[in-house]
Amino acid sequence: MYEHRVIDNLLDELQPHLQAMSIHGPKGVGKTETALRRVTSVLRLDDPEDMRRLAADPELIRSLPGPVLVDEWQRWPESWDRIRRAVDDGADEGRFIITGSSPPRGVVVHSGAGRIVGQHMRPMSLSERGIDTPTVSLADMLAGDASIDGETTVVLRDYVDEIVRSGFPGIRRLPTARLRAVALRAYIDNVVQREFAEQGYPVRRPEALRAWLAAYGAASSTTAKYSEILDAATPNEGNKPTKQTTINYRDALSGLWLLDPTPAWMPVPNHLARLGRANKHQLADPALAAHLLDLDADGLMSGRGDRAGIGGGPMLGALFESLVTLDVQVYAPNAEARVYHLREQDSRHEVDLIVQGLGGRLVALEVKLTASPGDRDVKHLLWLKEKLGDSLTDMAVITTGKYAYRRQDGVAVIPAALLGP
């Protein structure tokens, strides 16, 4: 049974009126399943039979009854340019949907700007997983008229279970924790042993790549330098991977959409001094980070993995922030908004998430692993409100608590399970 995704709302609005759309994101996120509901014809470029059909008749992309889905387009990168040219030649509205990842290294394709409209599909958010019904809308917060209320029965242990259960639909549907762990291991093995090579990055030392991935997971929700990640991946080793090798790791993982860093917010005009420019690290799914660090739900709850974190704080807090960041990244496009983080260079002030919508409207979010946030948990939000005034339409602390409400100082308190698009 198909599970409705937040991106479906955007596709309902946009796809019938655009000649070509691209849905990109990591493997297993549900791109093909979502696209199949909207098309008449399908070309699966990871299917040898479909590839033979295309080799015999490259114009098949144009001649098949539309809408046409070209799945795993990067297996035949020429397909992208053929669709771009079909758009230039006046293809019908709603004609093409393209799914897949980035093309292999060294393959040059036209950007498609102005012809092919892209949408990033991520693992499932909490609202898509159906753990509760959201009562607070991120879009309404951006508009400045959000209703902050609601009650949830979701507690800390439930959030921990969601962290390790994964937002990849095929993995989270598996009935036991052991099966899901096996599936996550197979997913990572496939990335290391197959996907890297297909991206044009052969891996000579798989164990070094796995260690680097684990170190990146340990840096979740931090702005750690890549040199720190490399040091964490190779402690006490003289034979470290070269800088170019680690750049290749990053580039290949980005091409596979497995890195999903949160960029630093740089307001224009910049009326906040000394803002840092480093991205905040996130893997596409916090379950990948937990698995790479050998952390199950009990391990996270007990604090067993806290020493694994690069940022110095508890891994559970970092991965809870990863989970909330995933949610906000899924919800923001429905409000035509983008997601950033804010951090001063001297770290005096930082805000976990800045959501910027049309007209420069802003929502600031802090993520706290607590059921009852106090004054200390909102101080950076109040500092930002003082700096930005009415440009900040709303501010909130996202928690593990039971109730959504607004504090007397204007800060909303929202359990993660009650936040929705």
* C-alpha–C-alpha distance, residues 24 and 44, integer Å: 15
Q: Is the Cβ–Cβ distance between 331 and 351 less than 8 Å?
A: no
Q: For domain 6-120, which CATH number applies: 3.30.1330.10, 3.40.50.300, 2.160.10.10, 3.30.360.10?
A: 3.40.50.300
* C-alpha–C-alpha distance, residues 324 and 376, integer Å: 20
At 155, which amino acid appears?
Answer: V
How many separate helices (H) and strands (E) can be counted in the chain? 18, 13
Q: Any idea where the domains of the chain sit in the sequence?
A: 6-120, 126-420
List 403's β-bridge partners, or say none.
151
Q: 């917060």: which residue's tokens?
A: 141
pTM of the full predicted structure? Answer: 0.95
Q: Which two tokens stand for residue 49?
A: 């039979």
Check residue 3 and give left, alpha or beta (phi > 0: left; psi -120 to 50: alpha).
beta
Nearest CA-CA partner of 301 in 352, 401, 369: 369
| SS3 per-residue string spanning 16-28 | HHCCEEEEECCCC
pLDDT in tens, 322-370: 999 999 999 999 999 999 999 988 888 999 999 999 999 999 999 999 9
Determine the pLDDT at residue 387.
Answer: 92
What residues contact 152, with CB distance under 8 A and at least 6 apart? 132, 402, 403, 415, 417, 418
Residues of the chain with pLDDT under 50: none
Determine the pLDDT at residue 273.
Answer: 67
Q: DSSP string covering 163-216, please?
A: HHH-S-HHHHTSSSHHHHHHHHHHHHHHIIIIIHHHTT---S-HHHHHHHHHHH
Determine the pLDDT at residue 224.
Answer: 93
